[in-house]
Amino acid sequence: MVERRGLGSRILRLYLPLTVSLVVMLFPFYWMLITSIKPNRELYNARIMPLIVYHPTLAHYVDLLTQTNFLTWTYNTMLVAVVTTALSLVVGTMVAYPLARMNFPGAAVVAIGIAATYLVPQPLLFIPMADIINRLELGDTLSAVMLTYPTLLIPFCAWLLMGYFKSVPRELEEAARIDGASRFQAMWRVVLPLATPGLLSAGIFAFTLAQNEFLYALTFLAKSDVRTVPVGAITELIRGDVFYWGQLMAAALLGSIPVAVIYSFFVDYYVAGLTAGSVKT
């Protein structure tokens, strides 16, 4: 009886909430999947059960890949996300390290300014950004978004990395300096390896934000061959009041795969860094 009560309590307290949370989180992906494989006669028939597919088809995927520039949009998205993430991590590290590890006048003010910069809404910035991009004659080029995305990602990466750098004991860095290492060598060989979880976290979130960014890409990228997936799918698969739901859901599902793969690939390294990154002093 005790074992049965313990099992019932465990089901109610653990498995039931986990199941409900799993269903809620996966339902949007299920909806995208079934919508993308439904033929149009089922998709626009209100009498058919919307959660069931009776005659699945890949016609929407074929149309998406053959009648649109989806592959080009995917390449542009990945290129922009990788370049801006790498740039943001490098510059964010250069900003976060002195603020977290060095004492100089005005460090607290600069740190607060970085946090405030990240909180500035995008609609307040894209108009002056557009003027700068036009003056540089970078409109309709991927360089436009590669230069504007870091204005949002660098403050975020710097703010996140400052916390990780502060968690590294100063004694380790001071020991490296006593052994003859320069400030840069101590940072490169001591601080950065111990802050690997922070670098992975900042990189993953920066990549996700860069891939899903919409406003700047919509403003600066007007040509189809330079658009990213969010902008290309919205602007070319919604024509007037006609929504091509099958292709839209296929684009949304395929566009989410790279992020899911990256998260699943790096989660082991991230968790391992969290468990192995603790330092005993």
Q: Write the pLDDT tens digit of every residue in 100-143.
A: 888 878 878 888 888 788 788 877 888 888 888 888 888 889 99
Question: Do 184 and 236 have their domain in common?
Answer: yes
Position 175 in a domain:
yes
Q: Same domain, yes or no, for 75 and 160?
A: yes
Res 268 pLDDT > 90 = no
Q: Is the pLDDT reported for residue 256 higher than 80?
A: yes
Query: 67 and 18, same structural domain?
Result: no
- Tell me, yes or no, whether 197 and 98 share the same domain: yes
Residue 93, in any domain of the structure: yes
Beta strands, E only, the chain: 238-239, 242-243
d(Cα 155, Cα 98) in Å, to the nearest integer?
A: 14
CA distance 275 to 271: 6
Domain that holds residue 9: 2-43
Q: Which long-range contacts (CB under 8 A, 24 or more apart) does 82-86 make?
A: 82/207, 83/146, 84/145, 84/146, 84/149, 84/150, 84/153, 84/206, 84/210, 85/153, 85/203, 85/206, 85/207, 85/210
Contact assessment for residue 111 and residue 162, using Cβ atoms and an 8 Å cutoff: yes
What is the pTM assigned to this prediction? Answer: 0.84
Strand partners, 242: 239
d(CA 104, CA 98): 9
196 has a pLDDT exceeding 80: yes
How many Å apart are CA 64 and CA 78, to the nearest integer?
18
User: In this structure, are 73 and 128 located in the same domain?
Assistant: yes
The yes-or-no verdict on residue 278 having pLDDT over 50 is: no
CA-to-CA separations, 150 to 28, 41, 129, 210, 263, in angstroms, rounded: 30, 45, 12, 9, 21
Indicate whether 160 belongs to any domain: yes
pLDDT for 181: 85
Phi–psi pair at 248, nearest 5 degrees = -60, -45
Q: Measured over all CA atoms, what is the biggest interatomic distance in the chain, rounded to whole angstroms?
A: 77
**What angle do the packed helices 196-212 and 245-276 form, to 10 degrees?**
170
What is the mean predicted confidence (pLDDT) over 188-210?
87
Confidence of residue 260 (pLDDT cuts 50, 70, 90): confident
- Per-residue pLDDT band for 78 (boundaries 50, 70, 90) equals very high
pLDDT of residue 171: 87
pLDDT at 4: 62
The domain tally of the chain equals 2
Residue 26 identity (one-letter amino acid): L
Q: How many CB atoms lie within 10 A of CB 126?
A: 17
Q: What rounded mean pLDDT belongs to the chain?
A: 85
Three-point CA angle 84, 131, 94, nearest 5°: 30
Question: Is pLDDT larger for residue 106 or for residue 96?
Answer: 96
pLDDT grade for 189, boundaries at 50, 70 and 90:
confident
- Tell me what pLDDT residue 274 has: 53
- Unique residue bearing structure tokens 């950004």: 129
Least confident of 45-49, 160-164, 225-229: 45-49
Compute the average pLDDT of residues 204-232. 90
Task: For strands 242-243 and 238-239, give the pairing.
Answer: antiparallel
Residues 167 and 256 in one domain: yes
pLDDT band at 93 (very low <50, low <70, confident <90, very high): very high
Q: Do 161 and 29 reside in the same domain of the chain?
A: no
- Assign residue 141 the CATH number of its domain: 1.10.3720.10
What one-letter code names the amino acid at 41?
Answer: R
Residues 71 and 37 in one domain: no
Statement to judge: residues 140 and 250 lie in one domain: yes
Same domain for 124 and 233, yes or no, is yes
Residues 176 and 190 sit within 8 Å (Cβ to Cβ): yes
Residue 189 in any domain: the answer is yes
Could you tell me if residue 55 is inside a domain?
no
Mean pLDDT for 150-174 is: 87
Q: How far apart are CA 78 and CA 117, in angstroms?
A: 26
With respect to residue 52, please indicate whether it lies within any of the assigned structural domains.
no
Of 45-49, 119-123, 241-245, 250-254, highest mean pLDDT: 250-254
State phi, psi for 242 to the nearest 5 degrees: -100, 120
Q: Residue 89: pLDDT above 80?
A: yes
Q: How confident is the model at residue 149 (pLDDT cuts 50, 70, 90)?
A: very high
> Is 81 contained in some domain?
yes
Predicted pLDDT of residue 281: 44
Please compute the mean of the pLDDT values over residues 85-94 and round it to a whole number.
94
Q: Is residue 182 part of a domain?
A: yes
Q: What percent of the chain lies above the pLDDT cut of 90?
A: 30
User: Are 19 and 78 in a shared domain?
Assistant: no
Shared domain check, 166 and 35: no
